[in-house]
Amino acid sequence: MLIEVASSLTMLHEITCAGFVTMMRTATLALLAVLASAPVQAALEHAADDGFVVRHEYSIAASPEIAWTALVHPELWWPEDHTWSGSRANLSLVPEAGGCFCERWPEGSAEHARVVMARPGKLLRLRGSLGPLQEFAVTGVLTVSLSSTEDGSRATVSYRVSGDGHAGLARFARVVDEVIGAQFASFALHASQARP
C-alpha cells in the first residue's frame, strides 16, 4: 500500500510539474506577444482648445506587407467597446482614396472616416472625427505609417484633431490619446500574430 501511495504521489508530482511548465510557457508566450506590440513610444504632442496631436509607435513582429493586410481589416482587431454597434464584425475599410471606414448594422450605420491616401505596405491616411468627436465641428486626420525593421516593422500612428476653439478640445486630448493607444496596440498585437 505504501508503494502504491508513493507511486501515485510521484505521478501526481510529474503531472503537476508538466502542467505548470505548460502553463508558464503559455503565459510567457502571451506576455512576449503583448510586449512585442506594446508602444515603443507614445506622446500627447500638443493640446489646446482648438486641437491636439497624439502619436504612438509600435514594434510589430511581421513585415510591413503583413501588417498592412492586418491594418485594413479592422473587423479583426478594432476593440468592440469602441464601435457604435458593439461588434467589430460590423466594421469595414476600403483601402483606397475615397474608401469608407464604415460600420453597418441592422439598426444603423456610421462613417468613422474616409481614406484620403493609401500606399499598401507603407501608409494609410484617413480623415474623420472618431467616436464622440463626430458631434463637434472638428476635423481629424489619422495617419498610420509602416516601415521595415530588423525584427519586422514599425507602425507610427498619429491623430491630429483641430476645430473651433470654443469646443475646448484640450479637455478631450488625454482620453483620445489613451483610446488611440489602446486601439492600435490591438492592431499591433493582431498584426504580430498574423501569418502570411
The pLDDT assigned to 16 comes to 40
The phi, psi pair for 49, rounded to 5°, reads -65, -25
Query: Beta-carbon neighbour count of residue 174 at 10 Å?
Result: 13
Band of residue 153 on the pLDDT scale cut at 50, 70, 90 = very high
Cβ atoms of 153 and 147 closer than 8 Å: yes
Q: How confident is the model at residue 35 (pLDDT cuts 50, 70, 90)?
A: very low
Q: What is the pLDDT of residue 111?
A: 97
Question: What is the domain partition of the chain in residue ranges?
Answer: 1-37, 38-193
DSSP 151: T
- Structural fold of domain 38-193: Alpha-D-Glucose-1,6-Bisphosphate; Chain A, domain 4 (3.30.530)
Tens-digit pLDDT profile for residues 91-133: 999 999 999 999 999 999 999 999 999 999 999 999 999 998 9
| pLDDT-based confidence at residue 40 (cuts at 50, 70, 90) | low
| 51-89 confidence digits (pLDDT tens) | 999 999 999 999 999 999 999 999 999 999 999 999 999
Q: What is the pLDDT of residue 33?
A: 42
pTM of the complete model: 0.79
Distance (Å, whole) CA 48 – CA 141 = 16
**Residue closest to 155 by CA, chosen among 33, 30, 37, 35:** 37
Residues in the chain: 196
Give the phi and the psi of residue 55 in degrees, each rounded to 5: -145, 135
- Is residue 113 within 8 A of residue 132, CB to CB? The reply is no
C-alpha cell at 77: 482587431
